[in-house]
């Protein structure tokens, strides 16, 4: 099943204490938003080893570009609820693509109900 993976899930999976999350990611058909690459690779605490792991993971992911439909949906979401631009883009991508979203950020993504 295709599933949109939020940045925080990938960042947590880089930590050895989240081995089960790494295994779970390995059995998914991962889809990411372009903003996810930016958030993960631009994370201020990411090591060179983690960057290499993330790049390998991204190479197997289906990548969805940020287009006008996503932007318009993200604007609507931000008008309804206080959320970061990145979270709005990821949520809008899930809505536009009709994909479930895997995220540890339940507060900002409860608007999706999936």
Q: Render pLDDT for 8-67 as a digit per residue (tens, 0 to 9).
A: 999 999 888 888 888 888 878 899 999 999 999 999 999 999 999 999 999 999 999 999
Q: Render pLDDT for 89-102 as a digit per residue (tens, 0 to 9).
A: 999 999 999 999 99
Domain ranges of the chain: 2-109
Residue 81 to residue 10: CA distance in whole angstroms: 24
Say if CB 17 and CB 40 are below 8 A apart: no
Q: Is the pTM of this model over 0.75?
A: yes
Query: In the CATH scheme, what is the code of domain 2-109?
Result: 3.40.50.1010
Residue 4 to residue 29: CA distance in whole angstroms: 9
The candidate with the shortest Cα–Cα distance to 1, out of 102, 90, 87, 69, is 102
Burial track 82-97 (b if 16+ CB lie within 10 A, e otherwise): ebeebbbbbbbbbbbb
């Amino acid at each position: 099943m295709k599933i949109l993976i939020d940045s925080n899930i990938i960042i947590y999976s880089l930590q050895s204490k989240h081995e089960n999350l790494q295994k779970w990611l390995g059995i998914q058909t991962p889809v990411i938003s372009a903003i996810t690459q930016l958030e993960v690779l631009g994370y201020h605490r990411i090591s060179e080893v983690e960057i290499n792991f993330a790049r390998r993971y991204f190479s197997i992911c289906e990548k969805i570009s940020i287009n006008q439909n996503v932007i318009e949906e993200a604007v609507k979401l931000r008008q309804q609820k206080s959320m970061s631009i990145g979270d709005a883009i990821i949520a809008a991508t899930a809505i536009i693509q009709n994909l479930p979203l895997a995220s540890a950020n339940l507060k900002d993504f409860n608007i999706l109900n999936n």
